[in-house]
């Protein structure tokens, strides 16, 4: 099996607040990330598709198709957005890197039809990233 990875970047704002917690509890748990004015990140997303190359094209999937999927499904949806207010899939959730990665997985898995979505890696910063991978791997 071959794995192909493409990277994209997008910028988004968020803050961490659980409405079930008091203001003091949100501050204690989330620290400066609980500031409701929010803060932003330049996210780096790596999307890995696994499969066998087509014998005629030598590709797992057409790279232009993958770029189009990522532009349409991720960049258009998340770039320069406020995750707390503008992303329905995150409504009612604390928009952590983990939650965002899970949402991105659910968005991409059904639309990648050549090969299969194998892993996503979402960097919130150079020092912090989350992997979301196919179960059992």
Which residues are marked as active site? 33, 80, 124
Grouping H, G, I as helix, E, B as strand and the rest as coil, residue 110 is coil
| CA 70 – CA 56 distance, rounded (Å) | 24
Contact predicate 12/78, CB 8 Å: yes
N-to-C CA span, the chain: 13
| CA 119 – CA 116 distance, rounded (Å) | 9
């Amino acid at each position: 099996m071959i794995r192909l990875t493409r990277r994209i970047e997008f910028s988004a704002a968020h803050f961490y607040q659980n409405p079930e917690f008091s203001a003091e509890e949100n501050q204690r748990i989330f620290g400066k990330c609980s500031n409701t004015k929010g803060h932003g990140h330049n996210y780096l997303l790596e999307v890995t598709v696994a499969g066998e190359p087509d014998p005629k094209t030598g590709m797992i999937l057409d790279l232009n198709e993958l770029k189009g999927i990522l532009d349409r499904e991720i960049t258009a949806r998340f770039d320069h957005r406020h995750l707390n207010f503008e992303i329905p899939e995150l409504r009612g959730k604390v928009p952590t890197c983990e939650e965002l990665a899970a949402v991105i997985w659910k968005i991409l898995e059904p639309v990648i039809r050549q090969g299969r979505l194998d892993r996503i890696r979402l960097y919130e910063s150079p020092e912090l990233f989350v992997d979301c991978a196919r179960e059992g791997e």
